[in-house]
Amino acid sequence: MAEETLLEIKNLVTAFQTEAGTIRAVEDVSFSVKKGQTIGLVGESGCGKSVTSLSIMRLLPKPFGRIESGEVLLDNQDLLKLPANEMQHIRGNRISMIFQEPMTALNPVHRIGKQIGEAFMLHQPEMDERTIYKESIEMLRQVGIPAPEQRVQEYPHQLSGGMRQRVMIAIALACKPDILIADEPTTALDVTIQAQILELMKSLQTASGMAIIFITHDLGVIAEVCDEVVVMYAGKIAEKAPVCDLFQSPKHPYTQGLLSAIPKLENPPKQKLQTIEGTVPDLMNLPAGCRFQNRCSYMEAPCQSQSPLLEKVNSTHFVSCHRWKEI
Amino acid sequence: MTSYFIRRLLLVIPTFLGITLVVFTITRLVPGGPIERIIAQARQMNMSEGNTSGGSSLQDDSPLSPDQIEELKKFYGFDKPILISYLDWLGKILVLDLGVSTRYYDPVWEIIKDKLPVSAYYGIVTTILTYLVCIPLGVLKAIKHKSFIDSTSSIIVLIGYALPGFIVAIILFVWPAAQWDWFPLGGFISEDFEDLTLAEQIWDVIHHSVLPLIAYMIGGFATMTFLMKNTLMDHLASDYIRTAIAKGLSFRSAVFKHAFRNSLIPLATHFGNNISLFLAGSFLIEKVFNIDGLGLLGFESLVERDYPIVLGVLVITSILGLLGNILSDFCVALVDPRVKFD
């Protein structure tokens, strides 16, 4: 398959200045996104998945967050080296982003229409106000908001959470981006709305052919929407594989743990749930060697001294574990 | 919305009645008053004439006969119970008759009317200038948080906040006005004001008001500036600013198009109160700069127990305060669409 690589992240390292010192929230992360593909970034809280996405958008909180090294190549152009004003043309135009919390992600004092229209005004300055208004209504219709002519005049507080996330998607997709970064877009919504939003994103993707980077901690969502999955642990990639491979033959003990922690319907009732013992290591003082060692049942001597590298299982499946062949 | 404001306006009435009834009662209960003043005056007159009439009157408790005192009480309405005389007073207020000063024997309204332009000038100019300084300064401090400008302006603003206005007034009076002769020593306008051209008149007013305005405002910057800075910083860290930047806005436009209006909401709640607060003036600053405003008038009347003026000033300031509150509500509704009054 001659799929075109759209976005390539190479050896990304992102650090945060804290009062206690510098911590590396993302270390040596590389993956690529092909046209029309959906990549899932999965991992528990603090594993660096959101920081990775914010680094791509260069939206890290200033002045604490800083990209130390690496490249983010969009059509072979390094976004990290772009001047600020050129980056503004990328954001919202070629790469858009939606966030976890739809309740606070919209400006409370501006009308919905104005907030969608702003994206058009920024990236398609040739459009006049009437066209922008019509297009905004059209966007609301596309994301499945009933009575868009009326909603466009309303303020965010007049909409429900699901509606607001749809508005966020409308804003993000207004300028037909090549890539949509969705940072836990369904986490704050209840399950039925989650399903609707996922369905909506999938159908919009089919219609527009955009790529999606989907960040979540919900493996169920990953299985539903993603083509490829990147599992992150403590700032590093643990495993990277096509979604079927990952669910059928997970190689990393962490991925295996995550998958076995999902309760299954065929399990006998009132059974103790599977967990991964222990907690994520403190990024301030990481252990030497593998970062997963203190929670890993396969830990051996080399795990404590040598950091595992991302090894090739096959042409599409990569894992970062010393003992993946044995387990 | 209209019905809400009509309701608010109607609520002014009971509040106003409450304020005035309490103050009216206090003026009746505290010792001293116009009758005591007249007695004291009469005693003084007796003392100066004492050489001829002998020492007998000095031993009297009062230089006036009980009949005369009774007559005076009747004249000032002290013969009636508090509530009745309050209602009498209120009845006159309704036809805009604030009574007659017990010191100057002039109608109270005439006296207040003379001072009102001066107070209104200082009140309005102070409010406008405070907002004009505090909003841009707060924005600058929020954007340049922890920079040199931020820290120095904080120090200056906080020193201003810590200094009482009248101390600043005295310092300004002693050096820039008296020693260096940069500004007039006080007053609202020059004596030859009538003979000046319009441009000169405007300059004259400004020249006279620079120092008092500094003294009035210097303490007021801190609250508003920090309120602006802190709310703006809160909003800059909020999710919708990230959304705006993710949309492709520059940081600067995100600040001014998105965060700014949200940050004005808490400031808007103060607007009406501020304007009425400054209008009432500060008698100490008025005293230092010899400005004939409401603050000084109210204070002197209180010292001299000139109750009609005290109550008259109270009527003006409390109505302004109550209307100021409604104005604040209106300002909030103006900037925040979530606020609905029904």
Which of A100-104, B93-97, B282-286, B298-302 comes out lowest in average pLDDT?
B282-286
pLDDT band at B49 (very low <50, low <70, confident <90, very high): low
Q: Smallest CA–CA separation between B222 and chain A, in Å? A: 26
Does any CB of chain A come closer than 8 Å to the CB of residue B246?
Answer: yes
* Residue written as token pair 């290591």: A281
Interface of B with A in 262-281 (CB under 8 A): 262
Which residue carries 């604030």 as its tokens?
Answer: B98
Question: If pLDDT is split at 50, 70 and 90, which confidence band does B10 have?
Answer: very high
Q: Which CATH architecture has domain B108-335?
A: Orthogonal Bundle (1.10)
B contacts of A172 (beta carbons < 8 Å) = 246
- Domain range for residue A94? 5-233
Residue A34, number of CB atoms within 10 A of its CB: 17
Closest Cα in chain A, distance from residue B158 (Å)? 26
Residue A278: its pLDDT value, please?
A: 86
Reply yes or no on whether the pLDDT at B51 is more than 70: no
Q: Are the C-beta atoms of B192 and B184 separated by less than 8 Å? A: no
The Cβ of residue A36 has, within 10 Å, a number of other Cβ atoms equal to 17
Q: A157 vs B73, which has greater pLDDT?
A: A157
pLDDT at site A167: 94
pLDDT band at B60; cut points 50, 70, 90 = low
Within a domain: residue A308? no
The enclosing domain of A98 has a CATH number of 3.40.50.300
Segment A135-149 mean pLDDT: 93
Model pLDDT for residues B77-103, shown as the tens digit of each residue: 788 888 888 998 899 888 888 888 888
Q: What is the mean pLDDT of residues A6-23?
A: 92
Contacts of B338 in chain A (CB under 8 A): 108-109, 155, 157
Percentage of chain A with pLDDT > 90? 67
Average pLDDT over residues A192-203: 89
CB-CB contact of B224 with B134 (8 Å):
yes
As a whole number of angstroms, the distance between CA B240 and CA A96 comes to: 14
Specify which residues A232 forms β-bridges with: A237
Q: Residues of B with CB below 8 A from A83's CB? A: none
Region A92-103 average pLDDT: 91
Average pLDDT over residues A126-146: 93
Please report which confidence band the pLDDT of residue B338 belongs to, taking 50, 70 and 90 as the band edges: confident
Q: How confident is the model at residue B118 (pLDDT cuts 50, 70, 90)?
A: confident
Q: How many domains does chain A have?
A: 1
Question: For residue A91, which residues of chain B lie inside 8 Å, CB to CB?
Answer: 245-248
Is some CB atom of chain A closer than 8 A to the CB atom of B233? no
Instruction: For A199-215, write each residue's pLDDT tens digit.
Output: 999 999 999 999 999 99
Rounded Cα distance, A77 and A96, in Å: 17
Asked whether the predicted pLDDT for residue A80 surpasses 90, the reply is yes
Q: Does B337 touch chain A (CB under 8 A)?
A: yes
Does the pLDDT value for residue B293 go beyond 60? yes
Nearest Cα residue to B19 out of B93, B80, B76: B93
pLDDT of residue A2: 45
Per residue, what are the HEC states of chain B? CHHHHHHHHHHHHHHHHHHHHHHHHHHHHCCCCHHHHHHHHHHHHHHHHHHHHCCHHHHCCCCCCHHHHHHHHHHHCCCCCHHHHHHHHHHHHHCCCCCECCCCCCEHHHHHHHHHHHHHHHHHHHHHHHHHHHHHHHHHHHHCCCCHHHHHHHHHHHHHHHCCHHHHHHHHHHHHHHHCCCCCCCCCCCCCHHHCCHHHHHHHHHHHHHHHHHHHHCCCHHHHHHHHHHHHHHHHCCHHHHHHHHHCCCHHHHHHHHHHHHHHHHHHHHHHHHHHHHHHCCHHHHHHCCCCCHHHHHHHHHHCCCHHHHHHHHHHHHHHHHHHHHHHHHHHHHHCCCCCCC
* Least Cα separation, residue A48 to chain B (angstroms): 18
pLDDT of res. A15: 94
Q: What is the mean pLDDT of chain B?
A: 86
For the cut 90, the answer to whether the pLDDT of residue B42 exceeds it is no
Q: State the nearest Cα–Cα gap between A11 and chain B, in angstroms.
A: 23
- The average pLDDT across A163-191 equals 91
Q: Which residue of A has its CA nearest to B240?
A: A105
Considering only alpha carbons, which residue of chain B is nearest residue A105?
A: B240
Dump pLDDT digits (tens) for A225-252.
Answer: 999 999 999 999 999 999 999 999 999 9
Average pLDDT of span B252-280? 85
CB contact under 8 A, B262 and A107: yes
> Residue A285 pLDDT more than 60?
yes
Domain boundaries, chain B: 2-94, 108-335
B78-86, long-range: CB < 8 A, 24+ apart: B78/B28, B78/B33, B78/B35, B82/B24, B82/B25, B82/B28, B85/B28, B86/B20, B86/B21, B86/B24, B86/B25
Q: B183-228 pLDDT, tens per residue?
A: 888 888 888 888 888 888 889 888 998 999 998 888 888 989 999 9
B150 touching A (Cβ < 8 Å): no
Distance from CA of A2 to the nearest CA of B (A): 31
Q: Give the pLDDT band (50/70/90) at residue A1.
A: very low
- Would you call B240 and A107 a contact, using CB atoms and an 8 Å cutoff? yes
Least confident of A89-98, A115-124, B54-63, B146-155: B54-63
| Residues A207, A202: Cα–Cα separation, whole Å | 9
Across the A/B interface, how many CB contacts are shorter than 8 Å?
Answer: 73
Q: Is A56 part of any domain?
A: yes
pLDDT band at A11 (very low <50, low <70, confident <90, very high): very high
Indicate if the pLDDT at residue B340 is higher than 80: no
Q: What pLDDT does A45 receive?
A: 86
**DSSP secondary structure, A183-235, as one string:** ESTTTTS-HHHHHHHHHHHHHHHHHH--EEEEEES-HHHHHHH-SEEEEEETT
Chain A residues whose C-beta sits inside 8 Å of any chain B C-beta: 57, 59, 61, 84-85, 88-93, 96-97, 99, 101, 104-111, 118-119, 122-123, 155, 157, 168, 171-172
| Interchain contact B234–A (C-beta under 8 A) | no
Residue A130 has a pLDDT of 94
- Assess whether pLDDT exceeds 60 at residue A122: yes
